[in-house]
Copies of this chain bind each other. A is one copy, B any other.
Amino acid sequence: METMTTSLDDVRTAINHASAVAEAWAETPRSARAAGLEAVADGLEQARDVLISLAEEETGLPSGRLSAELTRTTFQLKFFGDLIREGTYLDVVIDHADDRWPAGAPRADIRRYNLPIGPVLVFSASNFPFAFSVAGGDTASALAAGCPVVVKAHPGHPQLSEMQAEIVRNALESAVGLAGVFSIIYGQDAGVAAVTDPSIKAVSFTGSYQVGRMLYDLAMSRDEPIPFYGELGSTNPVFVTEAAAHTRGGAILEEFAAAFTLGGGQYCTKPGMLIVPRGESMAEQLVGFPLPSPGRLLTSTVAAKFTDRLAILGASDGVEVLIDGRTDDPMFPRATVLKTELGAVIANPSLSEECFGPASLIVEYADFSEVLEFARRLRGQLAVGVQGAQPDAQAEALLPIVARVAGRVVWNAWPPGVSVTYAQNHGGPYPSTTSALFTAVGSGALARFVRPVAFQNVPDALLPDELQEANPLSLPRRVDGAPE
């Protein structure tokens, strides 16, 4: 694989272009920005076959999955287009002047809405070469919000990145007539330089804890610190109550086997731990299954890290290796199953850190009160699953506890599969993300790239159209405290 790198001069040029066009893109009407996103979606659809075969070659992911992911990606571009046309994300709030406002002084006329935050740097991920890559959710939501985007390509799929970038650039230029709204850069040094460039106003990142934290620290130590939306790592434990294990343990295991090997176990939402009652021999049952083949890993870096992590886990106190997935070719491991007791995980919390790849740890508990205590102390997770029955006192006690440590709580289903919807939350307390207040997927993702500005006492003719009294853009608004 040829290593592509962008020179620091070219990084600076790309960011200068983004900065120079920021005002024009912010002021491009929302309908035109939406049209630009739709043009990108159309461009990707037109190149579907070649994109998918290139993705297959570069990532090793199966074409069926890639095809669904591309559909999701083009849907997502249009979804954000629809959202900005509708305009709720602008959060228009209007307070008329009120001499009797009881706050110690008269209230002036105050009107607020959201402005784009400025050029955004997007680090793309290896495991979703469409949905979390060049034209994925971060790019789509930042562009939709009115922010120019500089993508740092993931080295795992450089040709695919370049082809997607070409499509995005051309589509935006021909639909909107602005150059520099989107660009792509390659290489670690380029990424580091971009994070510290004063013209970049926010960063989104999907990747490993180590790299994510390093970039996060860089962003925070700038003269002007900027929001850093990092998705760093999550184990996504799934808890099985005694009732669930007893009534449908076999079915749960079958689904679990599919879930933790899906996409080679290379999902940020892979269930990395299954917490089961001791009496049902679920680990032993799982080993008896014909486990799915995980396929090729994404990159040699992923393979090396996976091998290392398995060695550490396998050598840890109290951990039993039921199926050692290591093979002669580290790029093609088998599904790996480890087993331990809840007490061992409580004694050694590093066991519950993410293992990226097709492995999962079955954790047996003897007493559900220990499970509740364990759940209470979990570090932040993107998702936590609960497999329960109804009624089920254990599940009832567990659900509110896991809601406090997770971005998403999944009932009798599995964490992978983060649908692009209005209510979605793909986020969670640290270290699953660096900012638990925001989602990376779904309509809420727009909020990462806008900031409020209020206008006080400004005459109607001088207000932005979005805030004018007659509501010429027909935006949803709150007026004097109530929805209009």
Given contacts A457-B413, A458-B411, A425 and B112 within 8 Å (CB-CB): yes
* Closest 7 pairs between A and B when the two form their complex, measured CB to CB: A72-B104, A425-B454, A71-B104, A93-B423, A68-B104, A220-B220, A411-B458
Contacts of A75 in B (CB 8 A): 102-104
Is there contact, CB below 8 Å, between B403 and A425?
A: no
Interchain Cβ contacts under 8 Å between A and B, 12 examples: A101-B419, A103-B421, A112-B425, A115-B404, A216-B225, A220-B225, A411-B456, A422-B481, A425-B452, A429-B451, A438-B452, A476-B483
Is there contact, CB below 8 Å, between A483 and B483?
A: yes
Give the contacts of A90-129 with B (CB-CB under 8 A). Answer: 93-95, 101-108, 110-112, 115, 117
Please tell me which stretch of A158-166, A273-281, A393-401 contacts chain B, meaning at least 4 of its Cβ atoms lie within 8 angstroms of it.
A393-401
Give the contacts of A445-484 with B (CB-CB under 8 A). Answer: 447, 450-459, 461-462, 464, 476, 478, 480-481, 483
Not counting A101-B421, A112-B444, A411-B458, a sample of 16 additional A-B residue pairs whose C-beta atoms are within 8 angstroms of each other reads A68-B105, A69-B104, A72-B105, A94-B423, A107-B419, A115-B403, A117-B436, A225-B430, A390-B459, A399-B458, A403-B453, A411-B459, A424-B454, A425-B454, A437-B450, A483-B483
| Mask: chain A, 73-84; 1 = CB below 8 Å from B; 0 = not | 001100100000
Q: A191 at interface (Cβ–Cβ under 8 A)? A: no
- A interface, how many residues as a size bin? 35 or more
Least distance between A474 CB and chain B CB atoms (Å): 14
Contacts of A102 in B (CB 8 A): 71, 75
Is there contact, CB below 8 Å, between B453 and A425?
A: yes
Residue of B nearest to A452 (CB): B425
Contacts of A221 in B (CB 8 A): 217, 220
Q: A258 at interface (Cβ–Cβ under 8 A)? A: no
Q: A340 at interface (Cβ–Cβ under 8 A)? A: no
Give the contacts of A21-42 with B (CB-CB under 8 A). Answer: 23, 27
Give A63 to B451 CA distance when docked, in angstroms: 36
Q: A316 at interface (Cβ–Cβ under 8 A)? A: no
Among B112, B420, B423, which residue has its beta carbon within 8 angstroms of that of A424?
A: B112
Contacts of A430 in B (CB 8 A): 224-226
Contacts of A88 in B (CB 8 A): 478
Q: A249 at interface (Cβ–Cβ under 8 A)? A: no
Is there contact, CB below 8 Å, between A427 and B444?
A: no
Residue of B nearest to A376 (CB): B23
Residue of B nearest to A222 (CB): B430
Give A236 to B390 CA distance when docked, in angstroms: 59
| Mask: chain A, 209-236; 1 = CB below 8 Å from B; 0 = not | 0000000110011001111000000000
